[in-house]
Amino acid sequence: MFWRLDPKNLKPGQMVDGWRIVRKLGSGSYAVVYEVEKDGKRFALKVACQVDKRGDPKQTDARARREVVCLQKLGHPHIIRMWAHGRCGDPRSGFLYVVLDLVDGYTLGEWVRRTYPTVQEDVVVFLKLFDALDHMHGRGVFHRDLSLGNIMVTKAGEPVIIDFGAADYAAAEELTDAPLPPGTPRNRSPEAMRFWLENLHNPEARYSFQASDDIFALGADLYDVLTDPTPDLSKNRPSLQGAVAPASPFKATQGRVPLELSSYAMMLIHPSLDERPATAKDARSPLEDFAKCEGPEWRGTRPHPVAAQLPPEPAEGALVPIEEGQPGGVEVPIPAHPSAVQGARVAALNSVRFEWGRPALVGLLALVVLGAAVAASVLHRPAPAEPPPVTRSGPGEQPVPALAEKPTSCPAQLPSSHPTQKEARPSVELPVNSPTLTNGLPNPQKASPRRVLSKVQRCALLVFTVAWVEAGCTGVQTRPDPEECPQEAVDAMEKELGWIGGEQPGIIVDVTKRKPKPVTRQDKLAVFNDGPVTGELVEDEGNAPKGTRLEGHLWTTGDRIYGRYRRAFLPGGRTVPICVELISGGDLGLDKQEGSKPGAAVGSTLVASLVVRRWH
């Protein structure tokens, strides 16, 4: 029974009100998140339980109930969707849970690091995020923790705001037991930080969170996306509220971020509340104009070219900068909240396998890179310097670009001003039928990745990238490594299942790809992604009956589709360790079919597999 289980450590195969646990995704201060399966479909199940001892255990249920209410108020394509909620076990002592979409993609920070988005792609993603924020505020809901980790981007390029564990709504019960609500320090607004400093020693003080706080947080995310090539990994980013103002995106990227977008990003994180947009709708308006801009500086330029995201080679004896802490040098522990969804995380580069000549090829590529780099250094032209600050007569006035000799590629002049906090009404009263933008992001442009690179430089960058991948860079795994099958799995297969090494059971690769009619060998193909997978036996195999579920993992970024299954779920809920690999035509792995793309491989849904004593 569920109440006899530890909700913090549910095991694969255990059931929660009909939802079968597949794996644990993560945990935070007030909840644990699992991937679950029901009727062949995958979801995220968030269980409310006290994880961090710093919190108040009596508030766990209340926080979960508040999250449910917030999600019930919302319905937007770029906000996580709730499918079910309930209490499992005893009505009084059981645990509350929420069932959510399982987003297949990356956190916003990972998306930047792995996909190298263009300027225009960044604009479109934040246009959709501000549209979602407009929808949220229009229904009286504040997220209160819009950090890089609480925004996902699907593999189709669609952003999704997740994790409403810290969210609040009008007339909600006060649960905060500190001056500030739970959240991410870097995304705190200047007003919140000033309140925090002024009330460090006042246990009764409570900050009144406003729509402007969410807007600032999303603006901080935009700044980090535009200025940091590895925002989910960086530990030494400059403070957004230090004594020295952070460098603008235009300056930080040596002009790769257009001046208009750079000025807009700096406006969103301006220290003065009066200089920032009053509502999410106002903040969204300039992005609508930016999204229409044409030209290579928008659609062909990447704020962070591939070279900027390669593992750095620190100089010997170089000093490591230290990130500025909280104002005043004191940091209050702020609970983190678990991500409600964690999709499969696939490497953005697709490694090329060569069966022979690898050392010679890498050496040749290295020589080519060296020659190209020398030529590039001779032909390099520095990026334009950022123009001096322009005094604004109004909070929304656009600065005059110093690059006036280069005409803008935007179809029309951007708005010259926007309502500010002083001009807007104090309450957020936005239309309920806020328009939504659901078009997918355009494919990354294959044109020049940055306008200041010559052809020789681009060639050197491409060759170096291929050489780096071919040399075996970490994080790009196209197939699993050989290893011994655990002895317990060998014993279980032989003694309990009656499987002998070398047998070839027929399996459905992924039951979530099953078609409405029975699967046959002749006509079924599906698109597979890297990550966990649930297969199924198509006929009795030893002591395992037809329909037995097999849990495993797929690798799809190489030249073939590789799969390993490590657990079998027998009737009655019993789990047995196994070692089974996918094979096709006697070769390890499956053939990729026409239409395969990196991270989205097309292959047969029903194939043979191989029982092994050692993973090949």
* 309 secondary structure, DSSP code: G
CA distance 102 to 155: 12
- Residue boundaries of the structural domains of the chain: 2-100, 105-313+334-351+380-470, 483-615
Q: Residues of the chain with pLDDT > 90: what percent?
A: 37
Residue 266 has a pLDDT of 96
CA distance 226 to 259: 12
Give the residue carrying structure tokens 């604009």: 123
Q: Is 63 helix (H, G, I), strand (E, B) or coil?
A: helix
Architecture, CATH, for domain 2-100: 2-Layer Sandwich (3.30)
State which H helix or E strand residue 467 sits in: helix 455-470
Residue 234 has a pLDDT of 84
| Tens digits of residue pLDDT in 302-361 | 999 876 665 554 444 444 333 333 333 333 333 333 333 333 333 332 333 333 344 444
**What CATH number should be reported for the domain whose range is 483-615?**
2.40.128
| Tens digits of residue pLDDT in 147-202 | 999 999 999 999 999 999 888 876 556 666 678 888 888 999 999 999 988 888 88
For 457-471, what is the mean pLDDT? 46
State which H helix or E strand residue 41 sits in: strand 41-48
Task: Say if residues 197 and 205 touch (Cβ distance below 8 Å).
Answer: no
Task: Say if residues 151 and 159 touch (Cβ distance below 8 Å).
Answer: yes
Residue 406 pLDDT grade (very low, low, confident, very high; cuts 50, 70, 90): very low
Q: Which of 529, 531, 475 is nearest to 349 (CA)?
A: 475
Phi, psi of 306 (to 5 degrees): -55, -40
* 167 secondary structure, DSSP code: -
In this structure, what is the dihedral angle of CA atoms 114, 119, 122, 123, given to the nearest 10 degrees? -170
Q: Work out whether the CA dihedral 303, 306, 311, 315 comes out positive or negative.
A: negative
Task: Say if residues 606 and 506 touch (Cβ distance below 8 Å).
Answer: yes
CA distance 554 to 536: 14
Say whether pTM exceeds 0.75: no
In this predicted structure, the answer to whether residue 107 has a pLDDT above a threshold of 90 is yes
Between 383 and 184, where is the model more confident?
Answer: 184
What is the DSSP secondary-structure string of 551-615? EEEEE-SSSSBEEEEEEEE-TTS-EEEEEEEEEETTEESBPPPTT-BTTBEEEESEEEEEE-SEE
Task: Say if residues 578 and 566 touch (Cβ distance below 8 Å).
Answer: yes
- To 10 degrees, what angle do helices 211-227 and 280-290 make? 30
Task: Say if residues 186 and 228 touch (Cβ distance below 8 Å).
Answer: no
Q: Is 15 helix (H, G, I), strand (E, B) or coil?
A: strand
Q: Residues of the chain with pLDDT > 70: what percent?
A: 67
In this predicted structure, the answer to whether residue 516 has a pLDDT above a threshold of 80 is no
* 144 secondary structure, DSSP code: S
Measured distance between the N- and C-terminal CA atoms of the chain, rounded to whole angstroms: 39
Calculate the CA 129 to chain-centre distance: 14
606: Cβ contacts below 8 Å, ≥ 6 apart: 506, 507, 508, 509, 519, 520, 521, 524, 538
Backbone torsion region of residue 393, taken as left when φ is above 0, otherwise alpha when ψ lies between -120 and 50, otherwise beta: alpha
Residue 328 vs residues 93, 135, 200, 331: alpha-carbon distances, Å: 42, 36, 10, 8
Q: Which of 102, 110, 176, 112 is nearest to 142 (CA)?
A: 176
| Tens digits of residue pLDDT in 525-556 | 888 888 888 899 988 888 899 889 898 999 88
Average pLDDT, the chain: 74
Six-digit token pair at 599?
């991270």
CA distance 86 to 68: 10
Architecture, CATH, for domain 105-313+334-351+380-470: Orthogonal Bundle (1.10)
